[in-house]
């Protein structure tokens, strides 16, 4: 338990959607676990729970020796106490700040020399040196997402949550940012959960996968094992190389606003 992320949470939304997730992941640095499933299955809600942005009615979240949520003890650690970094589909950078200022806004309390060192390293790793004085309105979609990733990593989180960070990009930008992200994650001592519908992203970035269906874990394990032994046709479809899986006719069409779409 001390070296794993253990999740057991249950929450019923006003729409009637019931999230009931249970799983355990080993905490190995530089590993990526993909979280996939049909739209409305609860993937993004899981990330929001881990980040402290969504409460649950019942359950427990344990990250290594730290208890983040324990409803039996009325314990819910605030987001700033969890050292979690989260990147969304849309970067949401501060439009009035430069690239350098956006990246360092989360480490303002560090001594100046440490801020400068960390900024220089991230600008180099994400190929942003030439853009450091630009503002978000002057950047392309791929550049914006690279800045968002650098900003998220600046505080050196112990858990990185990526909520479809590449889905809003055009194909050339998506490929470039994906390779940049792959190189960077391989060099960082951080555990990553990546929500994605794209099987190519899963195969390229992840070593393990969690498949969620209708608010529950359908299958979990090392990617190679799940690819070889999918327990249901839906799992095989979601992980099939090529185009992301299409929505089935009976997929959930109107989930609660708190549930990913």
Burial bucket for residue 30 (CB in 10 Å: 0-12, 13-18, 19+): middle
Residue 249 reports pLDDT greater than 50? no
154: helix, strand or coil: coil
Quote the pLDDT of residue 242. Answer: 56
Between 125 and 62, name the one with better pLDDT: 62
Quote the pLDDT of residue 165. Answer: 86
Residue 169 reports pLDDT greater than 90? no
Quote the pLDDT of residue 241. Answer: 67
Quote the pLDDT of residue 259. Answer: 47
- What mean pLDDT value characterizes the chain? 89
Residue 205 banded pLDDT, cuts 50, 70, 90: very high
Question: Which residues sit opposite 25 in a β-bridge?
Answer: 5
Residue 256 reports pLDDT greater than 50? no
DSSP 214: T
pLDDT tens-digit series, residues 73-116: 999 999 999 999 999 888 889 999 999 999 999 999 999 999 99
- Contact present, 198 and 37 (Cβ < 8 Å): no
pLDDT tens-digit series, residues 220-241: 999 999 999 999 999 999 999 6
In percent, the amount of the chain with pLDDT more than 90 equals 73
Q: Kindly report the backbone phi and psi dihedral angles of residue 4, in degrees, each rounded to the nearest multiple of 5, phi listed first.
A: -140, 160
Quote the pLDDT of residue 1. Answer: 45
Helix (H) / strand (E) element for 4: namely strand 4-12
Burial bucket for residue 104 (CB in 10 Å: 0-12, 13-18, 19+): buried
Residue 2 banded pLDDT, cuts 50, 70, 90: low
């Amino acid at each position: 338990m001390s070296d794993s992320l253990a999740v057991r949470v249950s929450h019923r939304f006003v729409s009637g959607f019931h999230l009931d997730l249970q799983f355990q992941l080993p905490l190995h640095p530089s590993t990526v676990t993909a979280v996939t499933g049909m739209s409305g299955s609860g993937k993004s809600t899981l990330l929001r729970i881990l980040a402290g942005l969504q409460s649950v009615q019942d359950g427990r979240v344990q990250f290594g020796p730290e208890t983040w949520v324990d409803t039996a003890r009325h314990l819910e650690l605030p987001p700033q106490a969890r050292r979690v970094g989260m990147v969304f589909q849309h970067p949401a950078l501060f439009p009035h700040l430069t690239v350098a200022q956006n990246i360092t806004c989360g480490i303002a309390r560090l001594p100046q020399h440490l801020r400068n060192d960390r900024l220089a390293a991230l600008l180099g790793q994400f190929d942003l040196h030439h853009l450091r004085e630009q503002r978000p309105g002057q950047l392309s979609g791929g550049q914006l997402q690279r800045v968002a990733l650098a900003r998220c990593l600046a505080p050196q989180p112990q858990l990185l949550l990526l909520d479809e960070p590449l889905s809003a990009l055009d194909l050339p930008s998506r490929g470039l940012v994906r390779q940049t992200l792959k190189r960077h994650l391989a060099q960082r001592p951080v555990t990553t959960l990546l929500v994605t519908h794209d099987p190519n992203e899963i195969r390229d970035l992840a070593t393990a996968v969690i498949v969620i269906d209708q608010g529950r874990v359908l299958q979990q394990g090392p990617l190679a094992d799940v690819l070889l032994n999918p327990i249901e046709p839906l799992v095989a479809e979601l992980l099939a190389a090529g185009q992301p899986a299409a929505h089935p006719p009976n997929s959930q069409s109107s989930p609660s606003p708190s549930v990913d779409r």
